[in-house]
Amino acid sequence: MAETWHFYLGEPLTVVELYDDGKLKFTCLGPDLFEGDQKPQYTVPPNVWFGSFPTKDVHFSQDGALLKAEARDSENHFSLVGCTCAPAFQFED
């Protein structure tokens, strides 16, 4: 099943996809549609593992190493998103 992520409010959120061949794909959802690569919505294809993280909380070094930013106040720094599944999600699947 495909899942469409919708950005509603707050700070950018990065969706990470992991494909069967080991390829990673990063897509940034956010409010800034004219600067950078932020999108208001994005669809993750079927049969792809995925997750997400607050874009401003994680950074990468030039060699690709993951660097975590200092903790921020969650009451002031958040991302509000929604996900739509098609066909509908069922635990039996």
Query: Which residues constitute the domain of residue 60?
Result: 2-86
Q: Which of 68, 59, 57, 55 is nearest to 27 (CA)?
A: 55
pTM over 0.95: no
Q: Where are the alpha helices (DSSP H) in 1-93?
A: none
Q: How much is the pLDDT for 38?
A: 94
Positive or negative, the Cα torsion across 23, 85, 10, 39? positive
Residues 42-67: what's their mean pLDDT?
A: 85
pLDDT in tens, 16-45: 999 999 999 999 999 998 877 899 999 999
Tell whether 63 is covered by a domain.
Answer: yes
Tell whether 35 is covered by a domain.
Answer: yes
Tell whether 91 is covered by a domain.
Answer: no
Instruction: Assign residue 62 the CATH number of its domain.
Output: 2.60.120.10
Counting the structural domains of the chain, the total is 1
Dihedral (C-alpha) 63, 66, 69, 71: value to the nearest 10 degrees? -170
Two tokens, residue 45: 């294809």
